[in-house]
Structure 1
Amino acid sequence: MIKQVICINWGTKYGPRFINRLYAMVARNITPPFAFTCFTDSTEGVRPEVDCQPLPELDFVMPVNTKGKWPKARLWSERLGTLEGPVLFLDLDLVITGNLDEFFTYGGPDEVILSRNPAKPFERVGQTSVFRFPVGKLVSLQKTFLANPQAVADEYRYEQRFVTRNAPGGVDLFPKRWVQHFRYQCMHTFPLNLFLTPRLPKGTKIVIFPGGVHPEHAIQGGWVGREGWSLWQHLRGLNRKHKDGSRWRYLRHYMKPTAWVRDAWRE
């Protein structure tokens, strides 16, 4: 059976650079045959191996002042372009560090399976940066969401919590070691982050980058808005005004350049 990988792109935040790198990482880490489909509002600059299909149309007003990526609700339609059966969704800004084949054989083909969310250790909530689902299985979620998008977003805040709590038949979670959160599970805690390069835990297949830190930031080191800063530059900026808030938060927001991210995040 062909392995179906999908992603979604809208606006200009990511675009072809991220799409093309994601395709290349998938191709290097999967056993053919596979298909890679990007649902996007622009095909300009996207490499020809990517099957670009239009964003599924939905008539709704996006929730405001919520942190979840609610445009992903487009993926919950009864039909998803020309695709059928189980698909593995990947965020555009993740890094693939191991073989993906087991993501397609874990559990049953009719199950909804999410990666684990280390940001909520005391709440069994999945992470939709990496998740597998059969096309059409989540249409009931879409109907509930479209009936009152703002109310759903206000209640659940994040679309991944909404999926975890309401997917028909419930959800399963991929093994913990397969998907790691860069900030929470790869970066060292203060003060070790000042001296040690972020680690790649053994057995990791995918590293996700929620929260504003992208692979490019990890490659350059420093932090968002301070890309490429040395430790000395970082410490010198401690007493300046900055958007990190407290000095404690500022000190935690530093990382050394990470070569393993550079080696993986490429075409």
Structure 2
Amino acid sequence: MMIKKQIVCIHWGKKYGPLYINRLYNMVERNITPPFRFVCFCDDDSGVRPEVECHPLPELNFEIPKTKRGIWPKSRLWNKQLADLEGPFLFLDLDLVITGNLDAFFEYGEADDVILAYNPSNPLERLGQTSVYRAPVGKLAPLLEMFSKDPLAIAEKYGYEQRFVTRNAPGGIKLWPKSWVKHFRRNCRRPFPLNYFLQPKLSQSSKIVIFPGTLGPQDAIDGVYHFRHGPHLTPKAHIKAGLKGERQGSLLTHLRHYILPTKWVEQHWK
């Protein structure tokens, strides 16, 4: 029996735009055995390549809360119905980088499982990361019902949407093998002082590299930890700037946050 491969992404607002959607489609197409469907739920499909199936954002009967930490619009995908999709779908964030074949993400576990990426930010907490997750359409509908009763209270209690999913998914969650999905800041950046001599590393076993937080793929390509740090500097100039006090945070933080331009991100993110 052929496994149905359904890729889903979501886009709202002006942060990313069609370039990110098209780039994600290109990466999927290069790294999957066809046939597959690529579906984007979005508020504007202008400039999106025709191979992408665009649908309006799933409707909600409440307002999504705005908090200082978590971003919750992905909760729209917990609806009982998502266009005409049926069965498991693989969700991908728009700002991740695909570095290997995706077929195994459709073969792992059981069809009814909710499977998330491992979140290394809290090693003492079994926490999933929803940058890459698989779930059957409608399986997370009970979460949407819970969330709709008091969205702000839920958002403040759990902080991040991924923690809410981890704690409340019906039947619990499973996690992808750690080697499949790597967190760029946590798993790829070199520790100080190697970060001044070696570009961030890419594990041969990784299939996807995710970029939670403020450091995105273009930053990795440019060798900039955060836009507030300004353009890429040579190691000598970066150290000198830190010693002169031209930095965000402590000197140690400044030194640890240096990255060299990452060529493998540029090679895959196109």
Q: Which runs of 5+ in 1 are unaligned?
A: none
**Residue 220 of structure 1 corresponds to which residue in structure 2?**
222
SS at match of 2:124: coil
Aligned length: 265
**Residue 36 of structure 2 corresponds to which residue in structure 1?**
34
Matched, 1:230 2:202: no
Letter in 1 for 2:83: G
Distance 2:65 2:233 in 1: 36
Task: Tell me how large the CA RMSD over aligned residues is.
Answer: 1.2
Distance 1:115 1:208 in 2: 9
**Residue 166 of structure 2 corresponds to which residue in structure 1?**
164
Within a 5 Å distance, the mapping from 1:1-267 to structure 2 comes to: 1-225=3-227, 226-238=230-242, 239-242=244-247, 244-266=248-270
Letter in 2 for 1:54: P
Distance 1:232 1:59 in 2: 54
Identity among equivalent positions (%) equals 57
**How big is the shift at 1:26?**
0.3
After superposing on structure 2, the runs of 4+ consecutive aligned residues of structure 1 that deviate more than 4 Å are: none
Distance 1:168 1:35 in 2: 26
Q: TM-score, normalised by structure 1?
A: 0.96
Does the CA-based 8 Å contact 1:36-1:51 persist in structure 2?
Answer: yes
Distance 1:205 1:224 in 2: 25
Distance 1:154 1:11 in 2: 23
CA deviation map 1:9-36 (0-9, x unaligned): 0001011111111000000000001000
Distance 1:55 1:222 in 2: 33
CA deviation map 1:155-195 (0-9, x unaligned): 11011010011000000001110000000000011111111
Letter in 2 for 1:236: K
Does the CA-based 8 Å contact 1:66-1:158 persist in structure 2?
Answer: no
CA deviation map 1:78-100 (0-9, x unaligned): 00112111000000000000000
Letter in 2 for 1:134: P
Letter in 1 for 2:253: R
**How big is the shift at 1:60?**
2.3
SS at match of 1:237: helix
Distance 2:139 2:267 in 1: 36
Q: Which runs of 5+ in 2 are unaligned?
A: none
Relative distance call for 1:264 and 1:156 in structure 2 (3 A) is same
SS at match of 2:111: coil
